[in-house]
Amino acid sequence: MRSFNLSENEMNELCRRHETPFLVVSVAKVEENYRFLRAHLPHAGVYYAMKANPAPAILRRLAALGSKFDVASAGEIEALAREGVAGDRMIYANPVKDARGLRAAAKYGVRRMTFDDASEIGKIAQAVPGASVLVRIAVHNSRALVDLNTKFGARPEDALPLLLAAKRAGLRPVGICFHVGSQSLSVAAYEEALLFVHGLFAEAKAAGLTLTDLDIGGGFPVPDAAGLAVDVAAMLTAIDRQIVRLFPETAVYCEPGRFLPGTAVNLVASVIGTKDRAGHPWYILDEGIYGAFSGMMYDHWHYPLHTFGRGGRVRATFAGPSCDGIDVLYEDFLTPRLTVGDHVLATDIGAYTTVSATQFNGFALAPTYTYEEEFPAAQAETEPRAAAR
Ligand SMILES: *Cc1c(COP(=O)(O)O)cnc(C)c1O
């Protein structure tokens, strides 16, 4: 699949309309990613983990496509409510919920939630009596970029006792969930987790508890700057096959985060200053590690950078605008020589980027524009990525 990629002309046109830095999301690309997921994983419903990118245009398009949403806080529930999404299309998938979040869940009718400890049961039962709950179990996966199984997940042997305790508290224990970790490059992690949970379902049944729901979490990968050495279509197909084989009667759903917006957003920034360090150029951009490039820090990510111009290439360093020495983005990056006012483009920068941007040093947050609104007549331009077919 191709990533959304502004052409140089489009980038320059946008720079005439808007001051940099800014991001551009292609909602058509988000839709394409959603349809790709539905096509290759047809037996799992979709709850978009909106923490990856809650831009209203993305929420709106996914809501229109019939997606449901994974929420973690009052703020996320309220953002969806503003877009007209009803609470029964949300799962409150933060295993530890705060009082505000639980109040919002009660107010907007979010009645499906996850938990991974007994201390959560009384809180849920009090705020949302009779809520449907899934116990989150920890699963093993060494091939994920972001580990989500140290902080999260009950010990598997505690799953059944936790569900039974939830039942005694008046909740509806409906199922089990897991998350193999973000940017998982392993399909085996899903397959092993599915096999393991299949056993837990049988144990539950033997204990008189019929489970109806299975939530396989997110983790589906997108290409990074080095490309993507995994066939995502084959990965999803293998997961789907295992679902059909093991859980033919179960309501199965997934919670993709980065997969939906990751490849659908570009960042446009400008060179605001240059330095010459013994012949080695430094280019200072108007967006940095404290802005939308924050994913380089929090998400351990590296975004493809595109520069434009003629002439021989040099190895340059690119840095952000803040007064912090860690605000360095790219080193030894081959580029034509640039000057103040030149624009640069970063692609595949749609997940875990704007959400962790700060206003450190007083630099404003970069806004997100929608490609299809900016260029109503155009089809989203996508460019082949060598490793992400
Ligand atoms: C973050 C998160 C997701 C999304 O994860 P991705 O790896 O971005 O797909 C899904 N479910 C839960 C509970 C999460 O915390």
Q: Same fold for the domain at 27-254 and the one at 265-376?
A: no
295 — pLDDT class (breaks 50, 70, 90)? very high
Work out the average pLDDT over 150-158: 92
Choosing among 3.40.50.2300, 3.40.50.300, 3.20.20.10, 3.90.75.20, the CATH entry for 27-254 is 3.20.20.10
Tell me which residue has tokens 């489009």.
10
Q: Which atom, in ligand 1's list, is nearest to the CA of 220? A: 9
pTM: 0.95
Q: How far is Cα 283 from Cα 252, in angstroms, rounded to an integer?
A: 48
pLDDT value for 1: 78
By CB atoms closer than 10 A (0-12, 13-18, 19+), residue 337 is middle
* Tokens found for residue 38: 């539905």
Please write the tens of the pLDDT for every residue from 172-213.
999 999 999 888 888 999 999 999 999 999 999 999 999 999
Provide the CATH topology of domain 265-376: Lyase, Ornithine Decarboxylase; Chain A, domain 1 (2.40.37)
- Which of 76-90, 315-329, 375-389 shows the lowest per-residue confidence on average (mean pLDDT)? 375-389
Would residue 254 show up in a list of annotated catalytic residues for this protein? Answer: no
- Which of 113-122, 183-192, 253-262, 269-278 shows the lowest per-residue confidence on average (mean pLDDT)? 183-192
pLDDT value for 380: 55
The distance from CA 197 to its chain's CA centroid, rounded to whole angstroms, is: 24
Tell me: pLDDT of 378 over 80: no
Beta bridge partners of 267: 23, 346
Tell me: pLDDT of 156 over 80: yes
Tell me which residue has tokens 């107010």.
107
16's enclosing H/E stretch is helix 8-17
- CA-nearest of 388, 380, 387, 386 to 5 is 380
Q: Which of 50, 147, 182, 230 to mutate to test the pocket of ligand 1 (most atoms within 8 A of CB)?
A: 182
Q: Give the mean pLDDT of the chain.
A: 94
Work out the average pLDDT over 36-62: 98
Tell me: pLDDT of 143 over 90: no
- Cβ(105)–Cβ(97) under 8 Å? yes
Work out the average pLDDT over 311-323: 96
pLDDT value for 381: 54
Torsion angles phi and psi, residue 235, rounded to 5: -60, -50
pLDDT value for 268: 98
Q: How many residues does the chain have?
A: 389
Work out the average pLDDT over 260-270: 98
54 lines ligand 1 (CB under 6 A): no
Between these two residues, 386 and 37, which has the higher pLDDT value? 37
pLDDT value for 226: 74
50 lines ligand 1 (CB under 6 A): no
Work out the average pLDDT over 98-108: 98
Please write the tens of the pLDDT for every residue from 203-253.
999 999 999 999 999 999 997 767 777 889 999 999 999 999 999 999 999
**44 alpha carbon – ligand 1 mean position (Å):** 15
pLDDT value for 386: 42
pLDDT value for 146: 82
Nearest CA to ligand 1 atom 8: 257
388 — pLDDT class (breaks 50, 70, 90)? very low
**Domain boundaries defined on the chain:** 27-254, 265-376
Tell me: pLDDT of 307 over 60: yes
291 lines ligand 1 (CB under 6 A): no
Nearest CA to ligand 1 atom 13: 93
Q: How far is Cα 329 from Cα 159, in angstroms, rounded to an integer?
A: 43
List of residues 6+ apart from 17 with CB closer than 8 A = 374
- Cβ(113)–Cβ(97) under 8 Å? yes
76 lines ligand 1 (CB under 6 A): no
Tell me: pLDDT of 48 over 90: yes
